[in-house]
Amino acid sequence: MNKTGSVKFGILWNSLQQFGQLGITFVSTIILARLLTPEDYGIYGILMIFISVSEMLADSGIAGYIIKKQNVTPIYYDTLFVYNMCVSGIMYLFLFFSAPFIADFYEKEMLISVIRILGLVLLLHAFSITQFTRLLKDLQFHKLALISIVAGVAALCVALLLAYRGLGIWALIFQQLVLVALTTILYLVVNRRIPHFRFDMRVFKEQFAFGINLFGSSVLMAITNNIGNNIIAKIFSMNIAGLYVQAVRLQNYPLSMVSNVVDKTFFPIFSKMNDDWRLLKEQICKLRRLLYAVLFPLFSAAICFAKPIVSIVLGEKWLGSVSYFQILMLASFPLLVKALNRNVLKSFGFTAVIFRIEVYSAVLLLFCLFIAFLFKSILVVLLAVVLGQSFSALFSMFYLKKKCAMELRKQLFDILVFFPCAIIPALLQYIVSDNVWIQMSTYIASFLAMIVFYSFRGCEEYLRFYRMGKR
């Protein structure tokens, strides 16, 4: 398959995968939110920082090197496999023995058993990284999509069964276990190759030299994205932490879908095409404009209709998270900018720059959170998150100018040009009527008009991207 066909094929199947995952997660959220309590989600939320950081340690960015490298032999996959299993085993033992201390810190004795069982995800995830990398390297997007959807549906069924039986937090725990376990099994079936327990130090040094910066940035991202759960749970309560977790989950739906499609599709393809980097840079700019034109109004709509969204999706008992959700959605604008810029930098091989951005961002965000907690207000904490993410996006824009010669002025102009796509529909829906359905109809109509106005030419340019591989 040629490069153009790879792009079309990848976009199609990755979009299907993301919409499938989004649908599964959405259904899961709708049902489980009505069966579980905010405290259940609060407990689950504080555990994710330990799991996320451990998974980042297991990967260490090595998989990204294999995807980028042109000629890869089996020893590269085997070395990755051995490293993943060793690190994951060490991290699981660490979590196993530190579980009592974590439970004492949060004054929740049940966390001991929860951590030790959920920690098994690390071992399963480590076993699957090599298989996933091989499929992604070979651009097997259709297989990845089907595996993801099948495993997601099975895990959802298990979670619903346990939740209906009144098992609370265990429904979420076993949903993750079943998801990762079944995904790993299906990867093995599809690849038809079990990695050998072989380790080449020369190959590892080569992989690690590339991956160390991605590893560091990923760990920092995992910490900064999840530390809010842990701090809120400790300073305030598990109930408030649960409301915060659900607000974050709602916020992540559109953003994670787009970032995953871009990351899983364009990074491996860009890595094969970066010999023509000037033309590639031009097309990236046009892709960015198209995404801004589509997503900025969606973010705005989520803020305007936060209350009915929370009420319909989560239920009346979660209305306390409405204000959390609205403020967090403000952070989606800079997060989108940062996600796109990070992917571009990674495609060009500037992993050290990505790490530097995350260091600056983490320091700034933690400082903002420290100041916010002096006020002992959850709303101030959320505003600190928005501020931290905004500065993080600015850092990424600055380094995109410095390393990829993408003018800062043009980057800012793209944001300012498409910001009316978010503001104008929001203003119109407030002016027209107090009826929510009329407001929504007005918003949709104005949104579509803005999209046509701003992105018609952008769509044409975006389609030209498909023909890049022919040049």
| 272-318 tens-digit pLDDT | 555 566 666 766 777 777 777 777 777 877 887 888 888 888 888 88
Poorest-pLDDT segment among 42-51, 86-95, 264-273, 372-381: 264-273
Angle, helices 420-432 vs 408-418, to 10°: value is 20
pLDDT at 460: 47
Neighbour tally for 203: CB within 10 Å: 19
pLDDT at 357: 80
pLDDT digit string, tens, across residues 277-289: 666 676 677 777 7
| pLDDT exceeds cutoff 60 at 3 | no
Residues 135 and 41 in one domain: yes
pLDDT at 429: 59
Neighbour tally for 82: CB within 10 Å: 18
Segment 143-161 shows an average pLDDT of 87
In a domain, 462, yes or no: yes
Segment 355-376 shows an average pLDDT of 76
Residues 275 and 210 in one domain: no
In a domain, 223, yes or no: yes
Nearest CA-CA partner of 230 in 97, 366, 363, 138: 366
The residues, ordered by sequence, that sit 6+ positions from 208 with a Cβ below 8 Å of its Cβ are 60, 62
Residues 206 and 258 in one domain: no
Poorest-pLDDT segment among 33-47, 161-175, 202-216, 371-385: 202-216
pLDDT at 205: 76
Residues 173 and 307 in one domain: no
CA 363 to CA 388: how far, in whole Å? Answer: 9
pLDDT at 376: 73
pLDDT at 4: 44
pLDDT at 47: 82
In a domain, 29, yes or no: no
In a domain, 251, yes or no: yes
Structure tokens at 176: 């993750």
Structure tokens at 215: 């590893």
Residues 312 and 175 in one domain: no
Maximum Cα interatomic distance, the chain, rounded to a whole number of Å: 67
Burial status of residue 403 (CB atoms within 10 A of its CB: 0-12, 13-18, 19 or more) = middle
Q: Is 466 helix (H, G, I), strand (E, B) or coil?
A: coil
Residues 216 and 312 in one domain: no
pLDDT digit string, tens, across residues 217-228: 777 777 777 777
In a domain, 60, yes or no: yes
Is residue 458 within 8 Å of residue 293, measured between CB atoms? Answer: yes
In a domain, 201, yes or no: yes
pLDDT at 266: 59
How many helices and strands (H and E) does the chain possess? Answer: 19, 0
Sign of the C-alpha dihedral computed for residues 411, 416, 417 and 421 taken in this order: positive
pLDDT at 2: 45
Neighbour tally for 137: CB within 10 Å: 18
Is residue 45 within 8 Å of residue 176, measured between CB atoms? Answer: no
DSSP run (H or E) holding 365: helix 351-373
Boundary (domain end) residue, out of 235, 268, 294: 235
Residues 203 and 229 in one domain: yes
Does the pTM surpass 0.85? The reply is: no
Boundary (domain end) residue, out of 235, 250, 268: 235
Residues 342 and 356 in one domain: yes
In a domain, 429, yes or no: yes
Residues 81 and 226 in one domain: yes
CA 9 to CA 15: how far, in whole Å? Answer: 10
The residues, ordered by sequence, that sit 6+ positions from 336 with a Cβ below 8 Å of its Cβ are 255, 258, 259, 291, 292, 295, 299
Average pLDDT of every residue of the chain: 75
Burial status of residue 281 (CB atoms within 10 A of its CB: 0-12, 13-18, 19 or more) = middle
Residues 291 and 395 in one domain: yes
195 versus 443: which is more confidently predicted? 195
Is residue 421 within 8 Å of residue 292, measured between CB atoms? Answer: yes
Q: How many residues does the chain have?
A: 471
448 versus 29: which is more confidently predicted? 29
CA 241 to CA 40: how far, in whole Å? Answer: 10
pLDDT at 264: 59
Quote the number of domains for the chain: 2
Residues 127 and 197 in one domain: yes
| pLDDT exceeds cutoff 50 at 470 | no
Is residue 129 within 8 Å of residue 80, measured between CB atoms? Answer: yes
In a domain, 274, yes or no: yes
Q: Is 230 helix (H, G, I), strand (E, B) or coil?
A: helix
pLDDT digit string, tens, across residues 80-122: 788 888 888 888 898 899 889 888 888 888 888 888 898 888 8
pLDDT at 456: 52
Note down the domain range covering 213: 36-235
Structure tokens at 354: 């990505």
116 versus 343: which is more confidently predicted? 116
Residues 285 and 297 in one domain: yes
The C-alpha torsion from 124 through 125 and 131 to 135, rounded to 10°, is 140
Boundary (domain end) residue, out of 235, 258, 291: 235
Q: What percent of the chain has pLDDT over 90?
A: 1
